[in-house]
Amino acid sequence: MASIIERAPAKINLGLDIQGKREDGYHDLEMVMVSVDLCDYISVSALEEDCIQVASDCPKMPVNAKNDVFKAAQLIKENYQIKSGVSIFLTKKIPVCAGMGGGSSDAAATIRALNQLWDLKMSTAEMIALGMEIGSDVPYCIEAGCSRISGKGEIVQPIDGHFSSWVVLVKPDFGISTRTVFPNVDLENISRVNIDTIVETIEGNDYQAMIAAMGNALEDVSIARKPFIQKIKDKMVSSGADVALMTGSGPSVFALCQSEKQANRVVNSLKGFCKEVYKVRTL
């Protein structure tokens, strides 16, 4: 069989709220995520030799068991007793450690691709269960699109509404590890975000009301550590963005713009301010 190629889109959080801490140490989250057309690509091809080979055009990427792509392949091989091997090539466009779900989306794309390559006939629910063993954003990335996510990330509900916007994404020249953010969450004083309202505004196609409802409860923690995140947000809004928000646990920030002209203004204002600036659209 020839190579199978799967697209792995980045995601942004239109809303992120923390409900509380669970007994297993995880936090209960409520989120609204949407995919954008900044994508990595996963290419898989069969090997006769019983091994997993991972390569990438990004020198920063580990090509061993530290990579979520490798983990996904290993998990499927173990669960389905696959005795043949696979060669996986990762074409990287999504910035690393950016809060855009690149690693999770790569893992999800690997699961989808191997489901085809090895003709496993996994259902979406089975792929989501596998994904949850790798990371809490992987279940969403299995189907992507515009969805509400609950629990640790395993409950994914597609939102019945058409949301389309230009998006300007900025990745500052530093990363933030998600694992270091959650221990600093103060549940008593954290900003709360009404996820119900965001979902209702998307379903009702009310862009202005959606913008007013958007928020990210993790901004308090990440901006306290890296105040430059706030400077990016302020720069975006002052140059005409409808809204600017940190995505995930940061450090990336995105702006929503209804017109491409507006998005171009935001991009131009960020030149010389940040190196990694992307103008994309929601998928």
Q: Binding site annotation covers 84?
A: no
For residue 26, pLDDT over 80 is answered with no
User: Which tens digits make up the pLDDT trace of 44-87?
Assistant: 999 999 999 999 999 989 999 999 999 999 999 999 999 999 99
The answer to whether 105 is a known ligand-binding residue is yes
pLDDT at 24 (0 to 100): 78
Q: Is 158 marked as a binding-site residue?
A: no
- Is 97 annotated to bind a ligand? Reply is yes
Label residue 21 by pLDDT band (50, 70, 90). Answer: confident
Q: What is the pLDDT of residue 1?
A: 61
Q: How far is CA 185 from the centre of its chain?
A: 20
Whether residue 104 is annotated as binding a ligand: the answer is yes
Run of H or E residues at 112: helix 102-117
Task: Supply the pLDDT for residue 123.
Answer: 97
Between the CA atoms of 227, 231, 236 and 237, what dihedral angle is there, to the nearest 10 degrees?
Answer: 90
Please check whether residue 52 is in contact with residue 70, taking contact to mean a CB–CB distance below 8 angstroms: yes
Catalytically annotated residue among 68, 106, 137, 242: 137
pLDDT at 177: 79
Model confidence pLDDT, tens digit, residues 165-199: 999 999 999 988 777 887 778 878 888 999 999 99
85 is in an annotated binding site: no
pLDDT at position 190? 86
Residue 204 is assigned to a ligand binding site: no
Mean pLDDT to the nearest integer, 202-206: 96
pLDDT digits (tens, 9 = 90+) for 38-56: 999 999 999 999 999 999 9
220-254 confidence digits (pLDDT tens): 999 999 999 999 999 999 999 999 999 999 999 99
Q: What is the pLDDT of residue 22?
A: 80
Can you give the pLDDT at residue 35?
97
**11, 71, 171, 235: the active-site residue:** 11
Q: Which domains does the chain have, with CATH numbers?
A: 3-158 (3.30.230.10), 166-281 (3.30.70.890)
Cα(106)–Cα(92) distance, integer angstroms:
9
At residue 162, what are phi and psi to the nearest 5 degrees? -100, 110
User: In the predicted model, what is the mean pLDDT of the chain?
Assistant: 94
Determine the 3-state secondary structure of 137 from DSSP. coil
- What is the predicted pLDDT for the residue at 65? 93
Q: How confident is the model at residue 217 (pLDDT cuts 50, 70, 90)?
A: very high
To the query of whether residue 11 is one of the catalytic residues in this protein, the response is yes
Is pLDDT above 90 for 152? no
